[in-house]
């Protein structure tokens, strides 16, 4: 633990030097290393600014693409989203004002009163309506591309089922069979977020209100119903409320059974993807088990 802490401190010192070199007015500020993502390392400054440092060339391209997408999204949605500025130096990085708040996870949601739950669902439903209404050609020109494809049901069945037993295996078999039988999405493909879990939300726990959404690197074109599965990481109650509000705002009825099947399929796909990464397997099994329990 001590060695890991020392490495993180050294990394933070190096990034702090880069930031101050470009923004000397931040010399007396408080710097902290945020939970490190796959693509970038993020530094929080004074709980006010976020600086992101891509890890490699692929991550640099992803950041540049995200900035381009947000420049189209920001004026078109009611939901606050980051206003990211690219800083071109010896090492490319970005800067944006931090959205007030922190993650929204299941225990937080369960403590919310009825009014706050409904307000949250309405805000998210409006967000999805706004996103899904964006012009496809405009988003494509801004850099949007198809979202990551999942493995086929037969491949997921082959990899995931041997990792499960008992009721979990039975439920997995049922979900995969239902997934394999799903016809194409009735609304086809749309530009969407496709990452709307609570770890991409800035939730103000003092006011019990959503301050904004961030991390659009995984956004793109995909089946419309798939955009509604990620809030199930928070609570099925939230997803149902989002769908109900979305239907009222858009006039488009949604298939709840499809969202349910796709949620289970997504978790089984993630489990299948982890088959060669032994430490991740128990974590992914727990994710699937949580979903199965939520269906009861």
Rounded CA-CA distance 229/262 in Å is 7
Domain that holds residue 205: 106-294
Asked if 91 and 127 sit in the same domain, the reply is: no
Instruction: Dump pLDDT digits (tens) for 66-77.
Output: 999 999 999 999
Instruction: Dump pLDDT digits (tens) for 256-282.
Output: 999 999 999 999 999 999 999 999 999
194 backbone dihedrals φ, ψ, rounded to 5°: 55, 35
Q: Are 86 and 64 in contact (CB under 8 A)?
A: yes
Instruction: Dump pLDDT digits (tens) for 92-139.
Output: 999 999 999 999 999 999 999 999 999 999 999 999 999 999 999 999
Rounded CA-CA distance 269/284 in Å is 10
**Residue ending a domain, choose from 97, 119, 153:** 97
Asked if 127 and 225 sit in the same domain, the reply is: yes
Asked if 133 and 268 sit in the same domain, the reply is: yes
Which pLDDT value is given to residue 1?
45
Asked if 89 and 112 sit in the same domain, the reply is: no
Asked if 183 and 227 sit in the same domain, the reply is: yes
Average pLDDT rounded to a whole number, residues 31-60:
88
Asked if 119 and 31 sit in the same domain, the reply is: no
DSSP state of 7: H
Instruction: Dump pLDDT digits (tens) for 183-229.
Output: 999 999 999 999 999 999 999 999 999 999 999 988 999 999 999 99
State the pTM of this model. Answer: 0.92
Asked if 93 and 138 sit in the same domain, the reply is: no
- Give 43's strand partners: 33, 51
Q: What CATH number does residue 116 fall under? A: 3.90.1200.10
Q: Are 72 and 138 in contact (CB under 8 A)?
A: yes
Helix (H) or strand (E) holding 44, with range, is strand 40-45
Rg of the chain's alpha carbons, rounded to an integer?
Answer: 20
37-41, 159-163, 225-229: least confident range: 37-41
Q: Which residue has the tokens 């008992």?
A: 166
| Predicted confidence band of residue 6 (pLDDT cuts 50, 70, 90) | confident
- The torsion angle over the Cα atoms of residues 158, 163, 167 and 169, rounded to 10 degrees, is 0
Asked if 161 and 76 sit in the same domain, the reply is: no
| For residue 8, pLDDT beyond 90 | no
């Amino acid at each position: 633990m001590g060695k890991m802490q020392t490495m993180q401190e050294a990394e933070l010192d190096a990034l702090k030097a880069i930031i101050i070199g470009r923004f000397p007015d931040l010399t007396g500020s408080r710097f902290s290393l945020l939970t490190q993502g796959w693509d970038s390392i993020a530094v929080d400054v004074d709980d006010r600014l976020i600086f992101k440092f891509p890890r490699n060339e692929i991550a640099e391209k992803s950041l540049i693409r995200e900035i381009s997408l947000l420049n189209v999204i920001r004026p078109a949605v009611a939901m606050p989203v980051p206003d990211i500025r690219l800083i071109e130096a010896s090492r490319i990085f970005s800067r944006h004002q931090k959205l007030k708040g922190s993650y929204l996870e299941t225990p937080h949601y369960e403590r919310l009163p009825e009014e706050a739950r409904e307000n949250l669902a309405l805000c998210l439903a409006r967000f999805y309506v706004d996103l899904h209404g964006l012009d496809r050609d405009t988003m494509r020109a801004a850099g949007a591309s198809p979202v990551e494809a999942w493995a086929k049901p037969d491949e997921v069945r082959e990899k995931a089922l041997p990792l499960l037993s008992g009721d979990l295996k039975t439920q997995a078999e049922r979900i995969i069979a239902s997934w394999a039988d799903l016809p194409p999405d009735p609304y086809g493909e749309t530009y969407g977020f496709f990452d709307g879990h609570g770890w991409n939300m800035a939730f103000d726990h003092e006011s019990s209100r959503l301050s904004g959404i961030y991390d659009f690197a995984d956004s793109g074109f995909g089946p419309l119903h798939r955009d509604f599965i990620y809030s199930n990481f928070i609570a099925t109650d939230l997803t149902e409320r989002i769908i109900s509000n979305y239907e009222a705002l858009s006039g488009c009825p949604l298939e709840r059974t499809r969202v349910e099947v796709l949620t289970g399929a997504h978790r089984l796909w993630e489990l299948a993807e982890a088959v060669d990464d032994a430490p991740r397997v128990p974590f992914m099994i727990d994710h699937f088990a949580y979903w199965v329990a939520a269906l009861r």
